[in-house]
Amino acid sequence: MGRSLNRKQVKEYAKAIMESGTLKEAYAKTHPKASPHSARCNAHRMLENAEVLKEYETMFQTAMPTDVTKEKIVKLFYLVVVRWHKGEEKTENMLRACENLSKLVPEFIDRHEVSAYKNMSEDDLNRELKRRFEQFGSILQ
pLDDT, one tens digit per residue, over 1-34 is 456 888 999 999 999 988 888 888 899 999 999 9
Asked if residue 52 belongs to a domain, the reply is yes
Residue 42 near residue 18, CB atoms below 8 Å: no
What sign does the CA torsion over 8, 14, 16, 19 have? negative
Q: Does residue 141 surpass a pLDDT of 50?
A: no
Report d(CA 65, CA 59) in Å as an integer: 12
Asked if residue 16 belongs to a domain, the reply is yes
Asked if residue 26 belongs to a domain, the reply is yes
Count of the separate structural domains present in the chain:
1
Residue 82 near residue 47, CB atoms below 8 Å: yes
Q: Which pLDDT tens digit goes with each residue over 46-66? A: 878 888 888 888 887 777 555
Q: Which pLDDT tens digit goes with each residue over 94-127? A: 777 777 777 666 665 555 455 566 677 888 878 8
Q: Does residue 38 surpass a pLDDT of 80?
A: yes
pTM: 0.50
> What range defines the domain where residue 107 resides?
7-140
Asked if residue 107 belongs to a domain, the reply is yes
Asked if residue 80 belongs to a domain, the reply is yes
Report d(CA 86, CA 70) in Å as an integer: 24
